[in-house]
A and B are shown apart, each in its own frame.
Chain A
Amino acid sequence: MKLLELSEVSAAYGAVQALRGLDLVVGEGEIVTLLGANGAGKSTTLRSISGLLTPNAGEIRFAGQVISGLHPEKVVRLGIAHVPEGRRVFPGLSVRENIMLGASNRRIARAEMARDTAEMFALFPDIARFADTLGWMLSGGQQQMVALARGLMARPRLLLLDEPSLGLAPLIVQQVFRIIARIRETGTTVLLVEQNARIALSVADRGYVLETGRLVVSGKPDALWNNEEVRAAYLGGKRLSEEQKPA
């Protein structure tokens, strides 16, 4: 079943046209990855879905309902959580407060919020002991965990992740991606934006490759990985050997 569908979506920042008629589908329960070089329009795609940006053409549907042009506060109430590029943890709030506020889209009592927050600390044990630490004091990896936990607090049907591996040490990246794989097991659909194609394709069911706001190619991870042209141009070059092929 189609959970998310973008039809010929175009979006611009002033005179800069960042998306040019993008078509994209995410099925319920899938992990779909959106790849492409810096400036290809990946973040713009997520921003258009979550309502931070209003597309100037095309239509975005979520669970059958048109959501393009809706305000972010409405979109997240419909069940789409967006974990933005750069993590953007609230610097002056504690880890616990950051995570709790992730539930602002749901009308729940404070006790339930505290219970769900405790659940997140169980899912991310590495940040549990920093519960009362302020956001700005955390390392990049810890901030990414907080951002993920905050996103999950919305209990989303669709989770938008923008470059969760950005700036993290390889070991931490693996940890983050194990969690992403686990998130899908709980039934949450994931649209994952990455520059690190190898690791993204290792967890994804399907992938799309963008270039200057247009779709270049899409398909199964294996097919994308073996497409020489795609690898050369967008997935980090031919240097990658066969052994590094995603599992």
Chain B
Amino acid sequence: MAIILQLLFTGLGIGAVYALVALGFVLIYRATNVVNFAQGQFAMLGGYCMVITTVDLGLPYWLGILITLVVMAGFGAIFNLGVYYPLRHRSFLPVVISTIGASILITNLVLGLYGPEPTTLPGVIDFPGVSLGAVFLDSQYLVIIAVTLILVLLQYFFFEHTLVGKKMQAVSQDKEVASLLGINVTGMIMLTFAYSAVLGGIAGVLVAPILFVSVGLGAQIALKAFAASIIGGFGDVPGAIAGGLIIGVAETLGAFYISVPYKDAFAFILLFAFLLIRPQGIFGEKVSQKA
């Protein structure tokens, strides 16, 4: 029993990271109808930004986080201008290819600047964790779960209870009408990219102390997050969160009970199962109808 609780805790922790990146996928998809394949690279950049500020430059952790948030927001805005905006009137495919190109570019820039060696980032709390009976709650996993919970609540409040949030929803539902009403469509999409980059960056900051910070970090997380958003029902916000948590738990249980080397395969086994049995995902419409 204790071991299952232990695995659930770990699975929810890593699942929360997938959920944050999946949320970024979903928000951009809803605003632009485009899947941003560089979403995982946002997480990698967040991780490196923390390493540079807190490890290399020796700045305090809180300042590193602050700088990372600002850098990620700015990066999201630039990403929007360079990767999405020039192609915004084109169809799905050119934009998707543009995001794939950007993801390759980002990966190689980091590789060029930082090399292939993985680095480590210490956790935010300098204390290992707490024991709850036979279950050990690692502090970094606790931080991940708490931060994710807070972000999800903040995001819910923002989209449901602020005017800007409503305008962003309007833009994602009908850009033409939104512009007829005088809503700044370009600005709202810019904001969506900035926020999604921040979400990805935070996911990277949170997961860096658990995994190594490396150029492969982005792809590793993005594939799972992408699977999570399909399992949840692509384009669905609660679905992305549920999908992320499900994958986190499934791969943790799978690694323990079935096979450690195949840990990364469980997300995709789950994805295939969903595509066969319930292709519309937990909450969503059919993927085939959306694409």
Contacts and interface: CB of A to CB of B under 8 A. Distances in A.
Contacts of A73: 179, 182-185
Interface in A85-109: 88, 90-93, 97, 100-102, 104-106
A71 interface: yes
Nearest to A90: B173
B182 A77 contact: yes
Contacts of B177: 84, 88, 90
Given A88-B177, A90-B177, A110-B163, A105 B170 contact: no
Most buried by B among A50, A72, A154: A72
15 contacts: A71-B179, A72-B176, A73-B183, A77-B182, A84-B176, A84-B180, A88-B176, A92-B169, A101-B166, A101-B181, A101-B183, A113-B163, A150-B181, A154-B181, A154-B182
B163 to A, nearest CB: 6
B167 interface: yes
A91 B172 CA distance: 11
Interface residues of A, number: 26
Nearest to A150: B181
Interface in B168-194: 169-170, 173-174, 176-185
Interface residues of B, number: 17
A105 B182 contact: yes
A92 B174 CA distance: 10
Contacts, number: 60
Contacts of A110: 163
Most buried by A among B166, B178, B179, B180: B180
A20 interface: no
A91 B169 CA distance: 10
Nearest to A110: B163
B167 A101 contact: yes
B170 A88 contact: no
A101 B179 contact: no
A77 B181 CA distance: 9
Contacts of B184: 73
B179 A90 contact: no
Contact of B181 (A76, A91, A92): A76
Contacts of A76: 180-182
B181 A104 contact: yes
Contacts of B176: 52, 72, 84, 88
B142 to A, nearest CB: 35
Most buried by A among B170, B177, B183: B177
Interface in A57-92: 71-73, 76-77, 81-82, 84, 88, 90-92
B174 A90 contact: yes
B183 A93 contact: no
Contacts of B179: 52, 71-73
Contact of B170 (A52, A90, A106, A154): A90
B173 A104 contact: no
A93 B180 contact: no
Given A52-B176, A88-B174, A93-B173, A102 B166 contact: no
Contacts of B181: 76, 101-102, 104-105, 150, 154
A91 B167 contact: no
B36 to A, nearest CB: 21
Contacts of A92: 169, 173
Given A88-B174, A90-B173, A93-B173, A52 B180 contact: yes
